[in-house]
Amino acid sequence: MIRVLGIKGSPRVKSNSNLMLDKVVEGIKDTSKEPDIKIISPTKMDISPCQGCYNCEESGECIFNDDMEELYQDFDQADIILISTPVFFNGVSAQLKTMIDRCQAIWSSKYRAKGSIIDRDKKRFGFLLGSGGAPAYEGQFKGIYKVIDMFFKVTNTEWRGELLISNSDEVPIKERSHVLEEAYGIGKELVCDFN
Ligand SMILES: Cc1cc2nc3c(=O)[nH]c(=O)nc-3n(C[C@H](O)[C@H](O)[C@H](O)COP(=O)(O)O)c2cc1C
């Protein structure tokens, strides 16, 4: 069975980037693989921001006991990780960044503390869905790309691609059938490539 973890980074209900993630999931569901799918939204979760105390480097434990504890396990078990995010001030949403910063505990477990809390040899595929409201401009997605790249690296997830769409404030994704079709196709392909 293929485990899929979808992380919806936009806090908005009618979100462009989250809609793309939904379409990828639809594509995944329409395969014969019978995936186990879990969708989470950091906006709705109890995730405290990293305090940079480095307790995780010394003890291997984060000082916070919150929803990240379950997420560390979800990251470990996932075969495919999908992440959606809007571009906010050239970066990912604050809610998503808060979740990602807490992955310092994973980094510490790998390189400083008692032993990795993530299986470093497990095969995981990662895919990024991003929407920027402004018309395309130089470096519009560079910030989110770098942050997600680091997240995939710390979770030993192989970057499989990205769908980054500009001008979503003027033309919402829901009105762009070719984007939705592309997202759907990505879902099908991701699962097929996972063998
Ligand atoms: C706080 C904030 C900051 C934003 N900053 C940018 C930006 O730097 N570049 C850009 O292209 N769009 C920016 N936008 C527009 C969003 O990227 C756009 O509305 C996007 O489609 C939202 O995605 P969502 O619908 O998935 O939430 C910003 C919007 C907000 C609310």
pLDDT tens by residue, 142-152? 999 999 999 99
Q: Is the CB of 85 under 6 A from ligand 1?
A: no
Q: Where does the pLDDT of residue 9 fall: very low under 50, low under 70, confident under 90, or very high at 90 and above?
A: very high
Atom 12 of ligand 1: nearest residue by CA position: 133
Q: At what angle do helices 142-154 and 94-101 cross, to 10 degrees?
A: 30
Please count the helices (runs of H) and the strands (runs of E) in the chain: 7, 5
Instruction: Tell me the pTM.
Output: 0.97
**82 pLDDT higher than 90:** yes
- Encoded tokens for 192: 């097929």
DSSP 72: H
Q: Sorting pLDDT into bands at 50, 70 and 90, what band is 194?
A: confident
pLDDT of residue 125: 97
Q: To test ligand 1's pocket by mutation, which of 16, 23, 88 has the most ligand atoms within 8 angstroms of CB?
A: 88
Give whole-number Cα distances, 89 to 67, 109, 135, 145, in Å: 26, 31, 14, 13
Residue 113 confidence class, pLDDT cut points 50, 70, 90: confident
CA-closest candidate to residue 127, choices 193, 54, 57: 193
Mutational pocket test of ligand 1: of 87, 93, 147, 174, the residue with most ligand atoms within 8 Å of the beta carbon: 87
CA atoms within 13 A on the CB side of 188: 9
List domains and CATH numbers for the chain.
3-194 (3.40.50.360)
Tens of pLDDT along 155-176? 999 999 999 999 999 999 999 9
Higher local confidence (pLDDT), 123 or 61: 123
Contact 39, 71 (CB under 8 A): no
Place of tokens 């879902």: 187
pLDDT-based confidence at residue 114 (cuts at 50, 70, 90): confident
**86 pocket-lining for ligand 1 (C-beta < 6 Å):** yes
| pLDDT value at 61 more than 90 | no
Separation of alpha carbons 55 and 15, rounded Å:
36
